[in-house]
A and B are shown apart, each in its own frame.
Chain A
Amino acid sequence: MKRLSNTKMWLAALSIIALVVIISACSKSGRNRGMVESDAAGKVYIAPGTYDEFYCFMSGGFSGQVSVYGLPSGRLFKVISVYSQNPENGYGYTEETKPMLMTSHGFIPWDDAHHPELSQTNGVPDGRWIFINGNNTPRIARIDLKTFETAEIIEIPNTGGNHASAFTTPNTEYVVAATRFSVPYPQSDVPIAEYKKYFKGALSYIKVDQGSGKMSVAFQIIVPGFNYDLAHSGRGPSNGWSFFTCYNSEQATTLLEVNASKNDKDFIAAVNWKKAEEAVAAGKFKTIPANYFHNIYNEETQSATSEKLRSVKVIDPKDVPGLIYYLPTPKSPHGVDVDPTGEYIACGGKLAAMIPVHSFSKMLKAIENKQFDGEAEGIPILKYDAVIAGEVKDCGLGPLHTEFDGQGYGYTSAFISSEIVKWKIGTWQVVDRIPSYYSIGHLMIPGGDCAKPWGKYVVALNKITKDRYLPTGPEMCQSAQLIDISGDKMKLLLDFPTIGEPHYAQAIPAELLMKNSQKIFPIEQNKHPYAAKGEKEAKVVREGNNVHVYMTMTRSHFIPDNIEGVKVGDNVYIHTTNLEQDWDVPHGFAILGAEFSELLVMPGQTRTLVWKPKEVGVYPFYCTDFCSALHQEMSGYIRVSNTNVPISYNGSK
């Protein structure tokens, strides 16, 4: 053997070292963080001055709000206050909006909002309203999509944890609500151990008036005390039915993670709501005492009022045979999603490794042939084999929710294996999968739970954020991901941060909403009892301890802006009316010492702040929204005295 020269030997040694270094470096950086293709940026880039294709409404989760994003850009446009006070605009603080947050438990300025659902006509979102549930203090809210403001909130009686909500029927006849935590029925002081004896579930149908949108609890169906988790309505052939998943058929009350996971199968409750409607019409219901609030915002008076309601109509399924059937569904089912045709009902299972898909036509046949597998408190349980259309195997671990693209495919989120799995309806074969970062909960395709999905994108709504963004301490933003589904393969396009915890979301083509979006409130339609609709109407009136200030705002002054005669201990109601009729010219109001948020008053609107001065002095107030070049000059003073100083103020010249 020929001896290697020194130089060659050193070269060989160096190249081996270099190779090792490169390989180790590669293996370290090789953790996949979701590769995107080079054209991804172009697909989400919305050039300045142009608009997004879709509005996307995301639940704000435990922020109690709804956030409005643009797709595909992922830009945040607005946070709509629903169940939470909002210091940014005074929602829930002002006299006009405080009644929106009244409940039978008192004033509750927070909730856990999970599932937004757009109103539908013929099974397709129509852009009139969007509904969202309040989970903790069971409520349903209706948001008006002309103003993007909460228009109404109704409390749901006999319910604990309104989670399977606010899903609509195909023509928004009803929005459903259900109890996730069954409670004693009626509420009473009983030992928890006697759950089986006293606890019941309630499935509620909230009627929606097609003109005004006004909601009312039409009826409740009293069902066995399981945990009713999610819902969706049938359409097409299954129109007239709704489907609720339930878990904890074990009826455990402690350590549910173990004790409610024992049964191999829980249920989907298939409810024939048309039959329920007929039963109510035929008088097959009981009216029972209840205690719940109905809060509605009047567009004319620009003020909300609360009404206390004292009874509810209740249907016992025993009185209406054929009202409900249970479909056995494996492993603590979660989401229940009906395909665009209305024939297939896909079920998530938090601990499952396959997706059972029930067939509506088989269900009807099984009912006809009485293919039952026992019953639960008188409700027939259908045979699994008689109703199942297929099982999607290899669907990942912990499949939760399914959306549809209208092209024959279902897309299911798998929480445990942190991915979206695409499968074909009919063959039940998985055709594609893409990882999510991390641990996806819901997913949303524009129109993906309606009769005619718009498709194009799927948004992953992830439960865990970790390292996806610049770190902001232990508490971080929530995370969504936009995925292109227009081709055979799903392609990750964009990560974007979200507020609260987004559970479900809805999206609708922008052109359906933007043309209706209101720019101002016409001042001549303002019927607020304390409005000053012109500077000549500005005044200050004392009524005992209450001082009412009728104040106008316009660029760039308040009338009046010097007020005297207020005394320590007075309740000063400052009613501000924005006289502007120009697009995007709000004015704000804040006064030193107010235990209150600011007021943000839209053009043509009246908003009221209550101020209770505690010490003598002269207190400045000012406009908080940079309204004009002379915004800084938009300010004034209120003098607070201990003695009887007569009310005086400077009115309009």
Chain B
Amino acid sequence: MKKNLRILIVISSLLLISSYFLPIWYISLDAPQYPEGMGMQIYINDIRGEKEHDLKNINALNHYIGMNKIIPDSISELTYMPFIMGALILLGLIAGISGKKILLYIWMIIFFIIGVAGMYDFWQWEYDYGHHLNPDAALKIPGMSYQPPLIGSKQIMNFYATSMPDIAGWIIFAVFAIGLFVVIMTIFKSKKDEAV
């Protein structure tokens, strides 16, 4: 690996540290009677309301349709995600510092797998919240589910729900893209070397 590319890998691995402080994903809910909007932000180890009481208020509204309460403490992913992210950062640093191509490739493959698994897990949570409803719920609409979109926007009853990466989420995407760029550059370089 060329020195510049190694530095790039080290810097982008370090950039992932931001995911410990900044929200990775957000789901916002807009409705006519919520002009100020409501939302929740998903952090690596927590789910917080966008404003102080948003999570409580989202739970209060969800109880009408019998949705489970969103209780961050009961979501196990939030306890082990920080360690997975830590391992990913560490591996990225080792790959960058050592400059070994094979480590870079392994790092990127793991990164990809974590990313896909994370999104699948997130989708499952959304499916679970949206479909497993309390049969005693006040409001029951046959055939209606309340699953928010994985990414993008969707009208769910009176709420316009939007699910999008937040700052740290975009940083993770960007780091992955940089990694991909480095991989391509490295392969291209070695192909060129072989040709010579």
A residues whose Cβ falls under 8 Å from a Cβ of B:
520, 554-556, 580-583, 628-630, 633
Asked, given contacts A583-B36, A629-B139, A630-B138, whether A520 binds B53 with beta carbons under 8 Å apart, the answer is: yes
Query: How would residues 55 to 92 of chain B score, 1 for a CB under 8 Å from any chain A CB and 0 otherwise?
Result: 01100110110000000000000000000000000000
Write out the residue numbers on chain B whose beta carbons fall within 8 Å of the beta carbon of A629.
64, 138-139
How far apart are B159's CB and chain A's nearest CB, in angstroms? 14
Contact A582 B57 (CB under 8 A): yes
Chain A residue with Cβ nearest B63: A555
A to B CB contacts below 8 Å, 25 in the list: A520-B53, A554-B60, A555-B60, A555-B61, A555-B63, A555-B64, A556-B138, A580-B57, A580-B60, A581-B52, A581-B53, A581-B56, A581-B57, A582-B53, A582-B56, A582-B57, A582-B60, A583-B36, A628-B64, A629-B64, A629-B138, A629-B139, A630-B64, A630-B138, A633-B138
Write out the residue numbers on chain B whose beta carbons fall within 8 Å of the beta carbon of A582.
53, 56-57, 60
Chain A residue with Cβ nearest B53: A581
Q: Name the prevailing secondary structure of the A interface residues.
A: loop
Size category of the B interface is 10 to 19
How far apart are A9's CB and chain B's nearest CB, in angstroms? 72
CA distance A555 to B65 in the complex (A): 13
9 additional contacts (CB under 8 A) given A628-B64, A629-B138: A520-B53, A580-B60, A581-B53, A582-B53, A582-B56, A582-B57, A582-B60, A630-B138, A633-B138
Most buried by A among B36, B53, B64, B138: B53
CA distance A298 to B138 in the complex (A): 38
B residues whose Cβ falls under 8 Å from a Cβ of A:
36, 52-53, 56-57, 60-61, 63-64, 138-139
Write out the residue numbers on chain B whose beta carbons fall within 8 Å of the beta carbon of A583.
36
Q: What total of A-B pairs shows CB separation below 8 Å?
A: 25
Chain B residue with Cβ nearest A580: B60
Write out the residue numbers on chain B whose beta carbons fall within 8 Å of the beta carbon of A555.
60-61, 63-64
Write out the residue numbers on chain A whose beta carbons fall within 8 Å of the beta carbon of B53.
520, 581-582
Write out the residue numbers on chain B whose beta carbons fall within 8 Å of the beta carbon of A633.
138
Leading 10 A-B pairs by shortest Cβ distance? A581-B53, A582-B57, A630-B138, A581-B56, A555-B60, A582-B53, A554-B60, A581-B57, A582-B60, A629-B64
How far apart are A582's CB and chain B's nearest CB, in angstroms? 4
Chain B residue with Cβ nearest A556: B138
How far apart are A512's CB and chain B's nearest CB, in angstroms? 21
How far apart are A186's CB and chain B's nearest CB, in angstroms? 54
Chain A residue with Cβ nearest B56: A581
Write out the residue numbers on chain A whose beta carbons fall within 8 Å of the beta carbon of B139.
629
Write out the residue numbers on chain B whose beta carbons fall within 8 Å of the beta carbon of A554.
60
CA distance A628 to B158 in the complex (A): 13
Write out the residue numbers on chain B whose beta carbons fall within 8 Å of the beta carbon of A520.
53
How far apart are A256's CB and chain B's nearest CB, in angstroms? 55
Most buried by B among A556, A581, A629, A633: A581
Write out the residue numbers on chain A whose beta carbons fall within 8 Å of the beta carbon of B64.
555, 628-630
Write out the residue numbers on chain A whose beta carbons fall within 8 Å of the beta carbon of B36.
583
Write out the residue numbers on chain B whose beta carbons fall within 8 Å of the beta carbon of A581.
52-53, 56-57
Chain B residue with Cβ nearest A582: B57
CA distance A520 to B54 in the complex (A): 13
Chain B residue with Cβ nearest A630: B138
CA distance A489 to B53 in the complex (A): 51
CA distance A580 to B58 in the complex (A): 11
Write out the residue numbers on chain A whose beta carbons fall within 8 Å of the beta carbon of B61.
555
Write out the residue numbers on chain B whose beta carbons fall within 8 Å of the beta carbon of A628.
64
CA distance A139 to B143 in the complex (A): 63
CA distance A18 to B56 in the complex (A): 76
How far apart are A47's CB and chain B's nearest CB, in angstroms? 15
How far apart are B54's CB and chain A's nearest CB, in angstroms? 9
How far apart are B31's CB and chain A's nearest CB, in angstroms? 12
Chain A residue with Cβ nearest B58: A582
How far apart are B23's CB and chain A's nearest CB, in angstroms? 21
CA distance A617 to B36 in the complex (A): 46
